[in-house]
Amino acid sequence: MWGASRRLFSLVAAAAIAMLAACSAGGSTGPAAPTTPDGNYTLTSIAGKSLPYTMYADTGYSVVVTGGTLSLATSRHFDIATTSTETFAGATTPYVDRTSGNWTTTNGSPTVTLTPALGAVMPAVWNGTKLSVTQPDGVYLYTRVP
């Protein structure tokens, strides 16, 4: 009986060591990290605060950002859609604001410049999974959609 238990223990220990070695072999198990910022992103926060974000509030009136997307095409065109609700005298109206234009970056640089067709240039910083865009009313943080 003792011999069978020892063999079983040895077999389990050998399997555990083999599994540990396979898992720590150094190979990547997930997709490769993106090397360029082009792709689709979802708005996750504004000025460090999660959504929904109250952009403006006063007696009987408010504007709340509820979501948004940003798309950087490989053709160097960008589209931003920001969804919000405006409440006035108890009536709430949804809105979608859109901005589009061109984007540029220098290879290897985390800096991205968004130049809308209308409006001010928006500087941004990309870290591989997130894009932080400085807009006139605050810093918008977008997270890459897998």
22: left (phi over 0), alpha (psi -120 to 50) or beta: alpha
Domain presence at residue 5:
no
Domain presence at residue 31:
no
Split into its structural domains, the chain has a count of 1
CA atoms within 13 A on the CB side of 146: 3
pLDDT at 31: 65
Question: Closest Cα to residue 30, out of 125, 128, 99, 136?
Answer: 128
Domain presence at residue 43:
yes
Domain presence at residue 49:
yes
pLDDT at 28: 52
Residue 58: domain span = 39-144
Q: What is the mean pLDDT of each run of 10 residues along the chain (146 residues)?
A: 45 41 51 84 98 97 98 98 98 98 91 95 97 95 97
pLDDT at 145: 97
Domain presence at residue 74:
yes
Domain presence at residue 6:
no
Residue 66: which CATH number?
2.40.128
